[in-house]
């Protein structure tokens, strides 16, 4: 059965979707069967994969409200498979609030198809609401992308409190795998200082290598490609391949 890895940070703009897409592409290069789950109503991952969210007749929203099975909604893109999002997913949050066992909706939806994949990567929305809690409850591990700026790690403590609640009530064995440092400017000491503070303050592992800042990351989504396809020999692509390799070796 597939290992489920949630990628979460309630702060936006930290390269969360980029990390999900790039890690998914890297796992696929290693020969893994990969499912990407777009849990964000903004549907940025769905768009980055070359799909038009507004043109989809069904999405994860339909799965979460019980209108469709995940097996009928997933889209095979060749090397990757996606459970896509649309703006309708925002309505799922309201719907789930009225349901018993709402934290387990995603986990239950994924159970029938998990054996078709080796790894499932969940792109959580930039919030600590019920959708993110669903992503964490469905996961075996969580990775936290972190932009290396002073203000970017202020919400990490809140995210870890939410992880603690999930462990207490819905997923006692959820493991925090560590922090992925994104958009790193290697010319300054500032990134190293921020990451050292995160490690000391929260006791989190900072995964290596760090992902460097590059215009290539901004170019790739418009082409419906990951950084590994758009600029396969770039430092960013190389970093994500190595991160994926390490995550494969340290499977929970």
Residue 215 has pLDDT above 80, yes or no: yes
Specify whether the CB–CB gap between 143 and 122 falls below 8 A: no
Higher pLDDT, residue 179 or 149: 179
Summarised one tens digit per residue, pLDDT across range 81-104 is 999 999 999 999 888 988 889 999
Of 109-118, 142-151, 154-163, where does the model show the most confidence?
Answer: 109-118
Q: State the pTM of this model.
A: 0.95
**Which residue segments constitute the domains of the chain, with CATH numbers given?**
3-249 (3.40.50.300)
Burial of 194 (0-12, 13-18, 19+ CB in 10 A): buried
The residues near 232 (Cβ < 8 Å, ≥ 6 apart) are none
pLDDT for res 11: 85
Please state the rounded mean pLDDT for residues 131-146: 96
Res. 252: pLDDT tops 50: no
Average pLDDT, integer, range 196-217: 89
Residue 82: the pLDDT is 98
Residue 225: Cβ-neighbour burial (10 angstroms; 0-12, 13-18, 19+): middle
Q: List helix spans (H) across the chain.
A: 16-29, 44-48, 60-64, 70-73, 89-96, 105-110, 130-138, 156-169, 190-202, 215-219, 227-230, 235-249
């Amino acid at each position: 059965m597939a290992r489920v890895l949630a990628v979460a940070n309630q702060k936006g703009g930290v390269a969360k979707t980029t990390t999900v897409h790039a890690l998914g592409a890297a796992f696929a290069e290693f020969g893994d069967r990969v499912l990407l789950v777009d849990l964000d109503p903004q549907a940025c991952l769905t768009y980055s994969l070359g799909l038009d969210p507004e043109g989809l007749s069904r999405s994860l929203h339909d799965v979460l409200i019980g209108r469709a099975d995940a097996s009928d909604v997933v889209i095979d893109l060749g090397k990757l498979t996606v459970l896509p999002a649309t703006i309708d997913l925002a309505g799922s949050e309201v719907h789930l609030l009225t349901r018993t066992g709402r934290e387990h909706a995603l986990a239950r939806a994924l159970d029938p198809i998990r054996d078709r994949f080796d790894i499932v990567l969940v792109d959580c929305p930039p919030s600590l609401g019920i959708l993110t809690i669903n992503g964490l409850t469905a996961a075996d591990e969580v990775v936290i992308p972190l932009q290396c700026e002073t203000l970017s790690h202020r919400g990490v403590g809140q995210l870890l409190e939410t992880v603690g609640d999930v462990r207490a009530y819905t997923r006692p064995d959820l493991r925090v795998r560590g922090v992925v440092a994104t958009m790193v400017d290697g010319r300054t000491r500032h990134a190293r200082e921020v990451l050292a503070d995160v490690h000391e303050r929260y006791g989190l592992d900072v995964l290596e290598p760090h992902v460097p800042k590059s215009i290539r990351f901004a170019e790739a989504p418009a082409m419906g490609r990951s950084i590994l396809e758009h600029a396969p020999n770039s430092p960013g692509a190389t970093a994500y391949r190595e991160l994926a390799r390490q995550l494969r070796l340290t499977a929970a």
